[in-house]
């Protein structure tokens, strides 16, 4: 998408002027969040500056977003599409101050700054800090999972955090399936979305295991275990990275990914060009229908223009009425 001018109907496309003026090492684009509606949240670094974007890759559409407090280091980003037509989305951004000394430390607590962007208002809103136990860290390469009306983050120490769409914790943090802790290859695991619910996959003694989290009872239920002997014939490091649908799992290697069919244990191999190592996977689905990204900003701009117009009209009317009244008093006075 670098250098793409976007759809001609979308005036706020990704700018390309900086590409020819900045050295390659200072020019960078990174995906930070995705949705199953085909939208991505990206951050571009140009030198020491950062810029946030929303894009739909299948239609090559981009729109620039107002920046959050980028001087604070981004920890995790979640993107939620609430409505597709007209488009309404939210972005939850968790960031951490660069300094490690603050007043929460005396309480044995740490915190993350919580900002929420709402496309209806077209601005970031800072919410209350998210307090966590000291030294609690996020799994940096684990994708955020949107399922059951919540967003889930994988933490270190085998914990999961669930936030609502305003970035508040929905219920206490909970452990990953404890029956999998003793697996030899347990560390190759991933949170996934499975049939609209939170899922968890990891390598098990029988191949690959899939658990589903039941929000009502806050328990994990083992759904299936499937052997992966066929895929181990071509790679020694198959790592579960997602569930494409109920019957196809995504497995990754250093330079390849595999779509593995759970029913007949067949797979399709995809080699990744110009890729050193697959560290992060951002799942999304998409159609080829353009979205009207421009209305998100023009509606917001229009509302402000309308407000300013009314204020100007009221001020002008009052001013002319005052001049007329003053003239009348001076004439008859």
Residues 129 and 112 sit within 8 Å (Cβ to Cβ): yes
pTM attached to this predicted model: 0.79
Q: Match 């995504």 to its residue by tokens.
A: 250
% the chain with pLDDT above 90:
30
User: What confidence score (pLDDT) does residue 246 get?
Assistant: 74
Evaluate if residue 330 carries a pLDDT over 50. Answer: yes
Tell me the residue length of the chain: 333
- Could you tell me where the DSSP H helices lie in the chain? 229-232, 294-332
pLDDT of residue 276: 63
For the stretch 5-33, pLDDT in tens is: 444 444 334 444 444 444 444 457 889 99
Contact 154, 162 (CB under 8 A): no
Whether the bond into 333 is cis, omega within 30 of 0: no
Question: First and final CA of the chain: distance in angstroms?
Answer: 73
Give the E-state strand segments of 205-273 in sequence order: 207-214, 219-226, 239-245, 248-252, 256-261, 267-271
Q: What is the pLDDT of residues 128-167, one digit of tens each?
A: 888 888 778 898 888 899 999 999 999 988 999 999 999 9
**Quick one: pLDDT at residue 332?**
57
């Amino acid at each position: 998408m670098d250098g793409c001018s976007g759809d001609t109907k979308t005036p706020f496309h990704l700018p390309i002027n900086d590409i020819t003026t900045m050295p390659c090492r200072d020019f960078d684009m990174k995906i930070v969040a995705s949705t199953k509606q085909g939208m991505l949240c990206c951050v571009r670094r140009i030198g020491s500056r950062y810029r946030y974007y929303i894009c739909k890759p299948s239609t090559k559409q981009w729109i620039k977003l107002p920046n959050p407090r980028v001087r604070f280091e981004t920890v995790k980003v979640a993107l939620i599409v609430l409505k597709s037509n007209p488009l309404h989305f939210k972005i939850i951004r968790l960031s951490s101050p660069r300094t490690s000394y603050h007043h929460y430390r005396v309480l044995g607590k740490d915190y993350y700054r919580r900002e929420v962007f709402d496309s209806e208002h077209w601005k970031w809103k800072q919410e209350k800090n998210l307090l966590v136990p000291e030294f609690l860290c996020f799994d940096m390469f684990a994708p955020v999972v949107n399922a059951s009306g919540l967003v889930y983050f994988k933490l270190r120490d085998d914990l999961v955090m669930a936030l609502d769409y305003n970035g508040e914790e929905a219920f206490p943090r909970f452990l990953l399936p404890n029956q999998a802790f003793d697996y030899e290859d347990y560390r190759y695991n991933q949170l996934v979305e499975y049939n609209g619910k939170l899922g968890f996959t990891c390598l098990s003694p029988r191949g690959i295991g899939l658990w589903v989290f039941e929000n009502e009872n806050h328990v994990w239920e083992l759904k299936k275990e499937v052997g992966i002997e066929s895929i181990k014939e071509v790679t020694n490091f198959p790592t579960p990275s997602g569930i494409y649908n109920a019957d196809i799992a995504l497995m990754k290697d250093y330079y390849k990914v595999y779509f593995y069919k759970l029913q007949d244990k067949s797979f399709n191999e995809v080699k990744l060009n110009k890729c050193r190592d697959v560290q992060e996977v951002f799942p999304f689905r998409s159609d080829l229908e353009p979205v009207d990204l421009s209305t998100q900003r023009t509606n917001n701009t229009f509302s402000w223009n309308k407000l300013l117009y009314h204020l100007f009209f009221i001020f002008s009317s009052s001013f002319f009425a005052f001049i007329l009244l003053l003239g009348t008093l001076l004439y008859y006075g």
